[in-house]
């Protein structure tokens, strides 16, 4: 059964962000968040972006949503 590996997905979000040369603050500003807490939670695997936010991240990073999410089979 496939499940989302939240830790690996968070690490991948961080890798994609760094690859694009963006800081957490840059992403925070794009989303209009008051703080970077949500982004830090995504990157640490403590939380997942909503579908709406995944669409925006995919656009920012120039990838598909499927390329952001890391799936693991159990």
CATH of the domain at 21: 1.10.260.40
Q: Using CA atoms, how far apart are residues 18 and 27, in angstroms rounded to an integer?
A: 11
Q: Torsions phi, psi of 3, nearest 5?
A: -135, 160
pLDDT of amino acid 73: 93
Helix extents (H) in the chain: 6-19, 24-31, 37-44, 51-61, 65-68
Q: Using CA atoms, how far apart are residues 62 and 8, in angstroms rounded to an integer?
A: 19
Please give the average per-residue pLDDT across 15-31, as a whole number.
97
pTM: predicted TM-score of the whole model, two decimal places? 0.93
- Can you give the residue range of the structural domain that contains 61? 2-73
pLDDT of amino acid 36: 96
The total number of structural domains in the chain stands at: 1
Please give the average per-residue pLDDT across 3-31, as a whole number.
97
Q: Using CA atoms, how far apart are residues 72 and 69, in angstroms rounded to an integer?
A: 10
Beta bridge partners of 71: 4
């Amino acid at each position: 059964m496939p499940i989302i590996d939240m830790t690996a997905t968070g690490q991948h979000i961080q890798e994609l962000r760094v690859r694009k040369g963006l800081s957490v603050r840059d992403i925070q500003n794009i989303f209009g968040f008051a703080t970077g807490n949500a982004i830090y939670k995504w990157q640490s695997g403590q939380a997942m972006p909503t579908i709406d936010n995944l669409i925006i991240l995919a656009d920012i990073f120039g990838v598909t949503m499927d390329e952001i999410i890391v799936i693991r089979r159990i």
